[in-house]
Structure formats: C-alpha cells, structure tokens
Amino acid sequence: MDELVEFLRARIAKDEQIARAGSGAAWRPSPPGSVSLDASANDRTPHDGTSRDRAPSAAAGQGGSRTTRSQAPGAERPGFVAQAENESYAEHIARHSPARALREAAAKRLILDEYVKAAWLMSTGHGGEAAEAAQAVRLARLRALASAYADHPAYRHEWGI
C-alpha cells in the first residue's frame, strides 16, 4: 500500500498548493451569483496557521467561474473572487474556498499519518489480531480518500471502495 500512500500524499500536496495560491482565504456567496472574500472569517484564527488577510490571486478567482476576473461584473469590487452562472454555483464555489481546502488537506494528512504510523508499529512486531483489524479499517479510510481522485491518471481502480 506504499503506492496508495504516496499517491495520496501527492494529491493532498497539490490540493494544498492550489489552496495556498488562492491565499487560503474563506469565501462567501454574494448575490446575485458572485463569490467574495468572507471578511468575518478574517477575524477568526485559521486552523492551518495561514494568513487570511490577502486577496486571492487572479488565477484563484478564475477557477470554476464562467468568466475571468477581469471580465466579471463587479470584478473591481474589493474582495471579489468570482462570478458564477447562478446562486447555487456561487454557493458551491464559496463552500469549497481555499481556507476549507487547507483544512481538508490537514485532516487528510492526519488520517494518512495515522495509517503510516500504525503500519510502522506493526512492522516492528507490535501487531496482533486487533492491530491488524484496526489497520484494515485505516486502509479502508485511505481507499475512501483516494476515491475522490478517481479521475486522476495515476489512480488505480483496485484502490477503490
């Protein structure tokens, strides 16, 4: 399962890299169908230690929107992130902000590290039936995490759940 672990580490690192490029800021939907920085989130302490006081890059603002940042109505507004086709799309984009992506990367990394630590302990003779059963559950978690990346070219279908 070393290949599954490495696959997940690479995907998590890429997700984190993209989120950091988007400033790690929280977003909120702004009717009608636009997404803006969530100013109230700047007052809360981030779980990942990143700063939330920077505006997202133009590239981050373009992700998933129908128009580019420079073309979108309201793009000149402070805190503008993206213009979506409708309010439902804006809500979806806002819920998957860089801040959330960074929290998800940290959570996934903890799950991955738990599996790796248990595998190491078992390899040093600290196993047994209960440890093996617990590791099987951890492996199922890794496969569940990997299934989100099923469209990646390096994904192997035997990792599926």
The burial of 67, by beta-carbon neighbours within 10 Å (0-12 exposed, 13-18 middle, 19 or more buried), is given as middle
Q: Which residues pair with 34 in a beta bridge?
A: 30, 83
- Give the tens place of pLDDT for each residue, 88-123: 999 999 999 999 999 999 999 999 999 999 999 999
Q: What is the pLDDT of residues 59-96, one digit of tens each?
A: 333 344 444 444 555 556 678 888 999 999 999 999 99
* Assigned token pair, 26: 């929280």
**What mean pLDDT is reported for the chain?**
82
Does residue 36 sit in helix, strand or coil? strand
- Return the closest-CA partner of residue 57 out of 93, 90, 20, 83: 20
95's CB contacts (< 8 A; 6+ apart) are none
